[in-house]
């Protein structure tokens, strides 16, 4: 399980606190207005920001002192998830070895991962020659190969159309299910939460509320969430 133990993060005047636990294998949506601190929380789990106090624990181990790459997490950013000068296969291969010196088995694993996300014929393409949805699939394929138990999604599909976004969310849910991964996904759209997240946590007013069952929460939103949903 992923535990936020009295975590506070301060950035200038802004501060965010979180104190809750996410059971392993759950998909949790972080819902809230822009500027509320959703991405800040993701960056802290990923290791790009250090909390000012408190700890983040994975399966009982404190991961706060670890550098980003050593944490049990994979991240999908809002954009720039692929290196534009590397091919699709190379971008995915980075998930196995950062120096790209891949063995034959690892090459096969790259192909299999691309196959899984439906990009089997595009290994040699550069990202510029892909559609937005295809780029997301490449990033997901790499995530699959990294096989980290926690997946962090910082609104990576925000620029996609509704149908494509739905496809991607479904793929995320499938991959999480296949690998047993825990997912934290940022969104400002309650529809996304409804689509795949069992639980939803409201981020507002400098605090991350403990996650609750998505259906119950959205059916009877507390005042802050009601104000946000309008």
Q: Interface with another protein includes 7 (CB under 8 A)?
A: no
Q: Alpha-carbon distance 169 to 186, whole Å?
A: 12
Which tokens go with 212?
A: 């609750």
Question: Widest CA span of the chain, in angstroms?
Answer: 56
Q: Interface with another protein includes 85 (CB under 8 A)?
A: yes
Scored b (16 or more CB within 10 A) or e, 114-146 reads: bebbebeebbeebbeebeebbbbbbbbbbbbbb
Binding-site string for another protein from residue 9 to residue 38, where x marks contact by CB under 8 A and - marks none:
xxxx--------------------------
Binding-site string for another protein from residue 33 to residue 62, where x marks contact by CB under 8 A and - marks none:
-----------x-xxxxxxx----------
Q: Interface with another protein includes 230 (CB under 8 A)?
A: no
Q: With contacts defined by CB under 8 A, how many residues of the chain interact with another protein?
A: 35
Closest to another protein by CB, 85 vs 115, is 85
Q: Interface with another protein includes 81 (CB under 8 A)?
A: yes
Residues in 142-201 at the binding interface with another protein, rule: CB under 8 A: 146
Q: Are 31 and 222 in contact (CB under 8 A)?
A: no
Q: Which stretch binds another protein (CB under 8 A): 24-32, 71-79, 190-198, 217-225?
A: 71-79
Q: Which stretch binds another protein (CB under 8 A): 96-104, 105-113, 166-174, 193-201?
A: 96-104
DSSP-assigned letter for residue 129: G
Q: Are 171 and 137 in contact (CB under 8 A)?
A: yes
């Amino acid at each position: 399980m992923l535990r936020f133990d009295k975590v506070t993060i301060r950035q200038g005047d802004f501060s965010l606190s979180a104190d809750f636990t996410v059971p392993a294998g759950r998909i949790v949506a972080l819902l809230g207005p822009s500027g509320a601190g959703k991405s800040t929380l993701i960056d802290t789990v990923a290791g790009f920001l250090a909390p000012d106090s408190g700890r983040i624990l994975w399966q009982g181990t404190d991961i706060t002192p670890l550098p980003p790459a050593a944490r049990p997490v994979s991240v999908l950013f809002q954009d720039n998830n692929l290196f534009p000068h590397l091919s699709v296969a190379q971008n995915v291969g980075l998930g196995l070895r950062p120096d790209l010196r891949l063995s034959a088995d690892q090459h096969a694993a790259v192909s299999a991962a691309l196959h899984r996300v439906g990009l089997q014929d595009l290994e040699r393409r550069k990202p510029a020659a892909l559609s937005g949805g295809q780029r997301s699939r490449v990033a997901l394929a790499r995530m699959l190969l990294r096989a980290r138990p926690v997946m962090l999604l910082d609104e990576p599909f925000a620029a996609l159309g509704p149908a494509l976004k739905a496809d991607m969310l479904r793929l995320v849910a499938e991959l999480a299910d296949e690998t047993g991964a825990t997912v934290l996904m940022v969104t400002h759209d309650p529809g996304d939460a409804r689509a795949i997240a069992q639980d939803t946590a409201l981020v507002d007013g400098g605090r991350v509320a403990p996650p609750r069952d998505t259906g119950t929460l959205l059916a009877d939103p507390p005042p802050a969430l009601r104000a946000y949903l309008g």
